[in-house]
């Protein structure tokens, strides 16, 4: 509900690890709830116009995918996400919500 409250968005980034397990289910479940395309274990992310170019490794194979916005990605624990084109944007890059006892980044 918090994401819907924020309003229109192009991108949601999720982590893969949680404090209680390592199942990586939150991102895909959230994407399903919001009816968004999603990719897991992302190691590189670039945006060109309305497309995201995503690189990931799955079962030992490197894949390069293109996904239209809005989309959700879970970031691989050792991955690096490149956002160079967005650094010149006049819009805020991140909107965050937090509640007591959580970290706000």
Q: Is the pLDDT of residue 36 over 80?
A: yes
Name 57's bridge partners: 62
How many residues belong to the chain? Answer: 105
Helix ranges restricted to H, 1-105: 2-6, 26-34
Position 73 scores a pLDDT of: 92
Name 45's bridge partners: 54
Query: Predicted confidence band at 31 (pLDDT cuts at 50, 70, 90)?
Result: very high
Q: Is the pLDDT of residue 17 over 50?
A: yes
Query: Predicted confidence band at 103 (pLDDT cuts at 50, 70, 90)?
Result: very low
Position 81 scores a pLDDT of: 57
Check: CB of residue 28 under 8 Å from CB of residue 38.
yes
């Amino acid at each position: 509900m918090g994401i819907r409250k924020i309003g229109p968005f192009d991108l949601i980034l999720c982590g893969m690890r949680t404090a209680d397990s390592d199942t990586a289910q939150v991102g895909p479940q959230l994407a399903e709830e919001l009816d968004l395309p999603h990719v897991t274990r992302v190691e590189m992310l670039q945006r060109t116009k309305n497309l995201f170019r995503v690189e990931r490794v799955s079962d030992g194979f490197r894949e390069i995918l293109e996904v239209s916005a809005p989309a959700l990605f879970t970031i691989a624990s050792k991955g690096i996400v490149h956002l160079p084109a967005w650094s010149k944007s006049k819009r805020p890059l991140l909107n965050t919500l937090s509640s007591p006892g959580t970290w706000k980044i």
